[in-house]
Amino acid sequence: MYSLTESLGKLLWDRDEDIVEKTLIDNSLVQLLSIRLFQDVIALVVAKGEKPLKKHVSQSLLPLFFHCHDENGRVAQASRETLLSAVSFLKRKDLKQLLQTDQMWRFAECLLAEDRSRAAEQLRLALPYVRSAQEPLREAAVRFMGMAGRFLTGQQPHFRIICRALQDMTDDTSPAISCLALQALYILLALQSVPCSRLQKMRDQLRRLWHSRPLLCGRG
């Protein structure tokens, strides 16, 4: 399914407006059907009393979480429903309760906290979303990066990847996202005892953003 959506994405460069329009529709539809198919497979496996998909279902939690923020309402709804099916399949009553009470960011934090050894894997799954064309997905990815950084402060290679990603996002086309990325980066570097001169420079950047766009910065 991923390779198919990638191929459809390449057609967006076509000069034919009809092709571009159909590609956008097909791309969302393929994504929606993929999520629904995955939900059906989980239900089928549960019905048969087998668990060959346990590892794959566990790996699906974070991508499904991100797509709960999708701009396409049908994709977001399907992702939330499939996420509920996935945590039920894994018998995770704690995660199910967080979803049912709409504590989405507590859900993400639990994914990171329950097994720090998997935080690097969660980071790998999250990185593609910072390059998403959708602003809500990029914003969710930045928030997640900030959270993941707190769990990876002792793992320098992975911590540097997070800081590099957040640094890139400070130039995002969305002022809200750039401000959020700068805040997250400042906090993570402060935890790492980065030289005061660098922190002062970032503090000045934050102050300028705060004065020019207080409402946007306040969203964080």
d(CA 159, CA 29): 36
CA distance 213 to 162: 25
Which residue is associated with the tokens 């207080």? 214
Q: What is the pTM of this model?
A: 0.74
Instruction: Out of 114, 146, 175, pick the residue that ends a domain.
Output: 114
Check residues 190 and 46 and name the one with the higher pLDDT.
190
Phi, psi of 8 (to 5 degrees): -65, -40
Using the 3D structure, point to which of 114, 130, 152 is the last residue of a domain: 114
pLDDT at 12 > cutoff 90: no
- Would you say residue 147 has pLDDT above 50? yes
> Do 65 and 40 share a domain, yes or no?
yes
Tell me, yes or no, whether 106 and 168 share the same domain.
no
Residues 17 and 54 in one domain: yes
Same-domain pairing of 8 and 36:
yes
Which of the pair, 155 or 107, is modelled with greater confidence?
107
Q: Does 158 lie in the same domain as 65?
A: no
DSSP assignment of the chain equals: -HHHHHHHHHGGG-S-HHHHHHHHHHHHHHHHHHHHHHHHHHHHHHHHT--TTHHHHHHHHHHHHHHTT-SSHHHHHHHHHHHHHHHHHTT-HHHHHHHHTT-HHHHHHHHHHS-GGGHHHHHHHHGGGGG-SSHHHHHHHHHHHHHHHHHSTT-HHHHHHHHHHHHHHTT-SSHHHHHHHHHHHHHHHHHTT--HHHHHHHHHHHHHHHHH-HHHHHT-
> Is the same domain home to 94 and 170?
no
Range of the domain at 173: 117-220
Q: What pLDDT shows up at residue 73?
A: 92
Same structural domain, 99 and 127: no
**Domain tally for the chain?**
2
Task: Write the pLDDT tens digit of every residue in 65-96.
Answer: 999 999 999 999 999 999 999 999 899 999 99
Q: Given pLDDT bands bounded at 50, 70 and 90, which one contains residue 106?
A: very high
Q: Are residues 99 and 136 in the same domain?
A: no
Same domain, 173 and 125: yes
Residue where a domain terminates, one of 68, 96, 114: 114
Same domain, 128 and 209: yes
Mean pLDDT of all residues in 111-116? 78
Residues 67, 39 within the same domain? yes
Asked if residue 210 and residue 122 are part of one domain, the reply reads yes
pLDDT digits (tens, 9 = 90+) for 39-65: 887 787 766 655 667 878 888 899 999
